[in-house]
């Protein structure tokens, strides 16, 4: 550092996991030299983890790309932004014109849910392009939850979250929040909340084939056989019916299909599933009884119950149990958050419902789910000639060569594309195949708003941080990068990127003023657009969403249709906000101003605004065609016989499960020395009994073989994995040539997903089976 700039601080919401902690960054010049938890943050109240503490190193990683790269003479070379977008337009437009939009595949990775740009522009890109070849990290993750919510509640994004602060009993399956900090349950200091639950006399039951740090914290740990959660959950459901403990309570009048479910679930007795799950029948009965007896309880499942053979069934049963125990939609149970940028609630009534399989993938005829095709099927869609073949890929914040099954095959397929563009800060295993790489600035130079995670948050809250460091001169904000990409795809290359935001604002306002239930019904859209504040297009769009949203100022609307529409939907929002002022020492940002939200108002509360605890939203949240909860929907009924057949399956001798480490995040944080060290290692964990049986010793090398391939990896003998199970983390395998991640390449690890050939999927959701697949392990000498 050459300057003698005085250090200053700035607030920045952490984008590195779903906990969304508020950070206070120390900044010297344009460099972030420190990060600590913001004690005044209304949501995280000072919590921070080692990843957040490394914000500065991650932000300032010298391997981050500074300028666009364009492939010339076969080599990626530095280029200007104009050259790069010329190359994008020249690469994509002719393909779209000649072969149609399906010739372009869009791949969206996980960090899109952690950036403003990733929330605001991919939807516009997809409407502009209209390709059916959309692949996202959801089919390596939570698509089973979307499908089950779609079928049960009529909306794929209506996802109940456990009410961590108020529950008396948490049954947690296949999640390890002490390492992951939580997922589809946004809660800063998840570990602290679990401890608080136990301190107030509540009970925590953890179901995981590994004795994780979360399991160690629990009252009870069940080391289930991987892949069998759906059987366990079915048996718990069966016990509730058999022992007449099933009682939806207040929800009774909103539930359809109870009798059909009772009939269908009959064969799944605890005795019938005990052997497959490796959990004694009497234990299963006790768990069901305790769940039913708790004053308030929540069942919550994540990755280990999602990326498995019966993922959708397991995710459906999680909410079936919440419903049957009367815990769905009540305090202390599992509730639907109401985010500030959600659409303002409408009166209850029938909706459009949720359909699966409206189209199918070309090669393997996989049904679409939520408009997406399985990530595991990209390679075959690129390789297989014929009409609809993918000839170009737009990859936004995605690294499927490591995160999806059979990266070697995908890697080769990508190399054969006519054109590929990656928006990514790194030249890594996937972006190295691109013809153009467009690097976003580091997070310190980006504004932040959590569009996704405010909708999965254990408290309703809203926070926004502007860039902590001014955008460097040779950089483009990621919003501008994506807006220019939209223009290039839409044949408007060269137009002003702000045109994209203006277009979205105009069409949103046009719809709003025509909508009798909108607070701005009948008003002049131009006058409203002129009222929007914000320095940038994304800020103006955020302002628009906040003002039209459930807590918004409605552009000054007084009473009228807007208030009528939210009546009944959120009785008590005011009380909620008030209660949080009284009930919390950290209610600083809170006032009754839950109403009247706008960007301006949010900016006046730099540590955020608490909008109160979660509240009941049924029936208003239901969007099924019946307007009711469809407890036993047809696609689920059709998949249940598959689960029934599993009762007779003989368990594989050895199956593999994943794991996460606190100082890691999927595939892209291995390039920071302090994060890629110590216990964060890519080892094969093996139980001592299995090690002895297989002839493996700690520190030696084992060969792992499965459907998709084989590799050698160091062995770690530990009794934290159960017998019959080995564990490897994902996101490793940084040993391909042509990447630019020096630290990661120096300790590359192996790519666990190379063990998969992409054929194992949860059929309803198209989600890859990444946990609980059979492997063979042998010593290497
Ligand atoms: N075996 C196994 N495989 C798994 C999983 C597992 O548990 N086991 N987990 C799955 C899950 S849950 C997920 S979500 C997927 C994730 O899969 P992906 O989304 O494909 O992978 P990530 O490693 O999260 O990161 C994707 C890319 O985003 C880039 N990136 C980081 N920050 C930004 C940014 O601000 N802007 C842009 N444009 N790019 C950025 C990174 O450099 C990286 O190249 O992996 C899945 N794969
Ligand atoms: N530190 C860190 N934090 C992260 C990430 C990261 O990579 N590192 N990734 C982020 C992302 S993208 C996501 S989606 C979330 C995921 O958040 P979590 O779901 O909490 O993530 P995991 O730690 O993978 O926990 C899954 C657990 O399921 C267990 N498991 C495996 N198979 C089965 C099974 O068949 N049944 C049961 N009951 N359990 C099983 C595994 O042993 C593991 O402990 O984490 C996010 N946060
Ligand atoms: S828990 Fe997640 S959001 Fe909080 S500091 Fe750590 S990485 Fe950031
Ligand atoms: Mo994920």
- Kindly report, residue by residue over 167-195, the tens digit of the pLDDT: 999 999 999 999 999 999 999 999 999 99
> Which of 402, 424, 444, 765, when mutated, tests ligand 1's pocket best, judged by the most ligand atoms within 8 Å of its CB?
424
Token duo for residue 334? 């599992």
Cis peptide before 622 (omega within 30 of 0): no
d(CA 439, CA 724): 43
Terminus-to-terminus CA distance in the chain, angstroms?
49
Q: Domain total for the chain?
A: 5
- Residue 403 near residue 395 (C-beta atoms within 8 A): no
Instruction: Identify the pLDDT of residue 575.
Output: 37
* Residue nearest atom 6 in ligand 2 by C-alpha distance: 665
What is the model's pLDDT at position 651? 86
User: For residue 137, which ligand has an atom nearest its CA?
Assistant: 1
Q: Are residues 234 and 255 in the same domain?
A: yes
Q: State in Å: Cα 677 to ligand 1 middle.
A: 20
pLDDT lower than 70: segments of the chain: 1-5, 557-595
Tell me if 46 is assigned to some domain.
yes
Q: Which stretches of 543-592 are assigned E, i.e. beta strand?
A: none
pLDDT score, position 557: 67
* DSSP code, position 693: H
Residue 755: inside a domain, yes or no?
A: yes
Q: Which domain holds residue 734?
A: 652-779
My answer on whether 258 and 367 are in the same domain is no
Closest approach atom of ligand 3 to CA 13: 3
> Are 631 and 578 in the same domain?
no
Residue 345 forms part of a structural domain: no
Three-state helix/strand/coil letters over 154-218: CCCCCCCEECCCCCCEEEEECCCHHHHCCCCCECCCHHHHHHHHHHCCCEEEEECCECCHHHHHC
- Which strands sit side by side in the sheet containing 773-774, from one edge to the other? 773-774, 655-657, 725-727, 684-686, 709-717, 701-706, 776-779
Q: Which residue's alpha carbon is at the smallest distance from atom 40 of ligand 2?
A: 304
**Under 8 Å between Cβ of 598 and 547:** yes
How far is the C-alpha of 43 from the C-alpha of 609, rounded, in Å?
A: 8
Cα separation of 688 and 725, whole Å?
Answer: 11
Neighbours of 125 (CB within 10 A): 22
**Pocket flag, ligand 2, residue 173 (CB < 6 Å):** yes
pTM as predicted: 0.95
Pocket test for ligand 1, best of 17, 372, 399, 446 (most atoms within 8 A of CB): 399
CATH number at residue 318: 3.40.228.10
Question: Of the ligands numbered here, which is closest to the C-alpha atom of 226?
Answer: 2
Residue 600 in domain: yes
691 and 591, same domain (yes or no) = no
- Tens of pLDDT, residue by residue over 486-510, are 999 999 999 999 999 999 999 999 9
Share of the chain residues as helix, strand and coil, in percent rounded to the nearest 5: 35, 15, 45
Domain presence at residue 267: yes
DSSP state letter for 476: -
Q: Judge if 400 and 419 occupy the same domain.
A: yes
Domain end residue (candidates: 25, 41, 59): 59
Distance from C-alpha of 612 to C-alpha of 590, rounded to nearest angstrom? 9
Count Cβ atoms within 10 A of the Cβ of residue 588 and give its class: 0-12 exposed, 13-18 middle, 19 or more buried. middle
Going by their DSSP bridges, the two strands 134-136 and 297-301 should be labelled as unpaired
Domain boundary among 35, 59, 83: 59
How far, in Å, CA of 498 to CA of 85, rounded?
A: 16
135 and 193 co-located in one domain: no
The domain that contains 40 carries what CATH number? Answer: 3.30.200.210
Ligand 2 atom closest to residue 177's alpha carbon, by position in its atom list:
20
Tokens 């269908």 found at: 264
Which among 424, 445, 466 is the end of a domain?
A: 445
Outline where 209-352 has alpha helix (H): 213-217, 229-242, 258-265, 270-277, 281-293, 303-306, 311-324
64 within some domain: no
- The torsion defined by the Cα of 710, 714, 715 and 720, in degrees rounded to 10, comes to -100
The answer to whether residues 202 and 321 belong to one domain is yes
Question: Does 667 sit in the ligand 1 pocket, CB within 6 Å?
Answer: yes
Distance 110 CA to ligand 4 centre (A): 6
Ligand nearest to the CA of 114: 1
Examine the domain organization and report whether 528 and 409 are in the same domain: no
Residue listed under structure tokens 């399985």: 374
Does residue 466 fall inside a structural domain?
Answer: no
pLDDT of residue 646: 95
| Residue 742, SS3 per DSSP | helix
Residue 150 within any structural domain of the chain: no
Cα separation of 300 and 171, whole Å? 6
Report the CATH number at residue 421.
3.40.50.740
Q: Provide the residues around ligand 4 (an ion) whose CB is within 5 A.
A: 141
Separation of alpha carbons 103 and 382, rounded Å: 9
Gap from CA of 17 to ligand 3 centroid (Å): 5
Structure tokens at 746: 């120096």
Same domain, 396 and 432: yes
Q: Residue 395: in which H helix or E strand, if any?
A: strand 392-396
Model pLDDT, residue 584: 35
Q: Is the same domain home to 108 and 167? A: no
Q: Are residue 636 and residue 680 in the same domain, yes or no?
A: no
- Give the SS3 label for residue 450: coil
- Structural contact between residues 310 and 234, judged by C-beta atoms closer than 8 angstroms: no
Nearest ligand to residue 727 Cα:
2
Domain identity same for 320 and 392: no
Q: How far is the CA of 309 from the centre of ligand 2 (A)?
A: 16
């Amino acid at each position: 550092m050459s300057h003698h700039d005085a250090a200053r601080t700035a607030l920045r919401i952490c984008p590195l996991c779903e906990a969304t902690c508020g950070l206070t960054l120390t900044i010297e010049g344009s460099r972030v030299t420190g990060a600590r938890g913001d004690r005044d943050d209304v949501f995280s109240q000072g919590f921070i983890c080692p990843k957040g503490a490394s914000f500065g190193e991650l932000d300032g990683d010298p391997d981050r790309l500074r300028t666009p790269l364009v492939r010339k003479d076969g080599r990626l070379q530095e280029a200007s932004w104009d050259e790069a977008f010329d190359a994008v337009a020249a690469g994509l437009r002719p393909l779209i014109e000649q072969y149609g939009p399906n010739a372009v595949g869009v791949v969206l990775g996980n960090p899109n849910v952690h950036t403003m740009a990733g929330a605001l522009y991919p939807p516009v890109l997809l409407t502009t392009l209209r390709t059916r070849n959309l692949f996202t990290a959801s089919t390596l993750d939570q698509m089973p939850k979307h499908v089950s919510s779609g079928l049960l509640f009529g909306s794929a994004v209506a996802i109940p979250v456990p009410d961590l602060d108020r529950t008396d009993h948490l049954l947690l399956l296949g999640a390890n929040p002490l390492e992951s900090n939580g997922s589809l349950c946004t809660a800063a200091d998840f570990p602290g909340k679990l401890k608080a639950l136990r301190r107030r006399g509540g009970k925590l039951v953890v179901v995981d084939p590994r004795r994780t740090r979360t399991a160690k914290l629990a009252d009870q740990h069940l080391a289930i056989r991987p892949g069998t959660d759906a059987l366990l959950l079915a048996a718990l459901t069966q016990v509730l019916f058999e022992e007449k403990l099933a009682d939806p309570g207040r929800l009774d009048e909103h539930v359809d299909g109870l009798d059909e479910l009772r009939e269908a679930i009959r064969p799944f007795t605890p005795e019938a599933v005990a052997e497959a799950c490796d959990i004694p029948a009497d234990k299963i009965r006790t768990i069901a009884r305790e769940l039913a007896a708790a004053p308030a309880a929540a069942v919550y499942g994540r990755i280990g119950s999602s990326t498995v053979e019966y993922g959708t069934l397991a995710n459906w049963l999680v909410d079936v149990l919440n419903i049957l125990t009367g815990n769905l939609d009540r305090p202390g149970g599992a509730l639907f958050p109401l985010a500030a940028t959600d659409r303002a609630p409408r009166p209850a009534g029938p909706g459009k419902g949720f359909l699966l399989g409206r189209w199918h993938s070309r090669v393997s005829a996989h049904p679409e789910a939520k408009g997406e095709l399985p990530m595991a099927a990209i390679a075959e869609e690129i390789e297989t000639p014929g009409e609809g073949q993918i000839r170009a890929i737009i990859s936004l914040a995605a690294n499927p060569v490591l995160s999806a099954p059979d990266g070697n095959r995908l890697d080769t397929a990508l190399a054969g594309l006519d054109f590929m563009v990656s928006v990514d800060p790194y030249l890594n295993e996937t972006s190295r195949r691109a013809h153009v790489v467009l690097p976003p600035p580091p997070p310190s130079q980006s504004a932040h708003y959590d569009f996704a995670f405010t909708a999965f948050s254990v408290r309703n809250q809203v926070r926004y941080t502007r860039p902590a460091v001014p955008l460097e001169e040779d950089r483009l904000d990621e919003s501008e990068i994506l807006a220019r990409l939209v223009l290039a795809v839409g044949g408007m290359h060269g137009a002003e990127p702000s045109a994209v935001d203006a277009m979205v604002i105009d069409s949103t306002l046009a719809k709003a003023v025509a909508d009798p239930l909108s607070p701005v019904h009948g008003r002049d859209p131009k006058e409203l657009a002129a009222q929007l504040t914000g320095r940038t297009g994304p800020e103006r769009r955020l302002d628009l969403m906040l003002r039209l949203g459930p807590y918004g100022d409605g552009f000054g609307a007084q009473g009228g249709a807007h208030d009528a529409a939210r009546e009944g939907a959120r009785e008590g929002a005011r009380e909620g906000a008030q209660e949080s002022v009284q009930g919390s020492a950290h209610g600083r940002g809170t006032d009754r101003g839950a109403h009247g939200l706008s960007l301006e108002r949010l900016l006046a509360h730099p540590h955020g605004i608490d909008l109160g605890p979660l509240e009941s939203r049924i029936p208003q949240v239901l969007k099924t065609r019946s307007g009711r909860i469809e407890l036993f929907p047809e696609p689920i009924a059709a998949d249940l016989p598959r689960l029934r057949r599993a009762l007779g399956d003989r368990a594989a001798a050895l199956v593999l499960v994943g794991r996460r480490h606190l100082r890691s995040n999927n595939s892209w944080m291995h390039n920071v020395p302090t994060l890629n060290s110590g216990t964060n290692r890519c080892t094969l964990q093996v139980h001592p009994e299995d090690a002895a049986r297989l002839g493996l010793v700690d520190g030696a090398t084992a060969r792992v073989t499965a459907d998709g391939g084989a590799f050698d990896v160091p062995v770690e003998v530990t009794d934290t994995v159960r017998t019959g199970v080995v564990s490897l983390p994902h996101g490793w395998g940084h040993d391909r040539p042509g990447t630019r991640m020096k630290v990661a390449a120096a300790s590359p690890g192996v790519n666990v997903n190379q063990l998969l050939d992409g054929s194992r999927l949860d059929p309803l959701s198209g989600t890859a089976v990444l946990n609980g697949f059979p492997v063979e392990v042998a010593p290497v000498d």
